[in-house]
Amino acid sequence: MRVTILEEAGYHEALYGLGFSFGLTSDEQGLIMGTPMFDRLEKRAHLLAGLGKGHDKFLRQIIMWVEVDAPLI
């Protein structure tokens, strides 16, 4: 089976929303890749991603389009 990621959307928005839960972002500022705030949120996201029980709720905001090449049987 071969899976190819065609497109991904919502990653920055999911991190931005995650920041609200921890008081790390506000409405006035954006989230720019490479800034200390972005790096901090990304690190937090990696820690929460596998926990389940609602801790990884931000992952629901990320959409991925994939192509799956697999046999029918």
Task: Summarize pLDDT for 15-32 with one digit per residue, the tens.
Answer: 988 888 888 776 656 677
Instruction: State both tokens at 59.
Output: 């992952």
Please return the burial class of 61, using the count of CB atoms within 10 Å of its CB with bins 0-12, 13-18 and 19+.
middle
Write out the chain's pLDDT in tens, 73 residues.
999 999 999 998 899 888 888 887 766 566 777 788 888 889 989 989 988 888 888 899 999 999 999 998 8
Alpha-carbon torsion (46, 49, 50, 56), positive or negative: positive
pTM: 0.73
Give the domain ranges of the chain.
2-69
Q: Taking all residues of the chain, what is their mean pLDDT, rounded to a whole number?
A: 87
Residue 63's pLDDT is 96
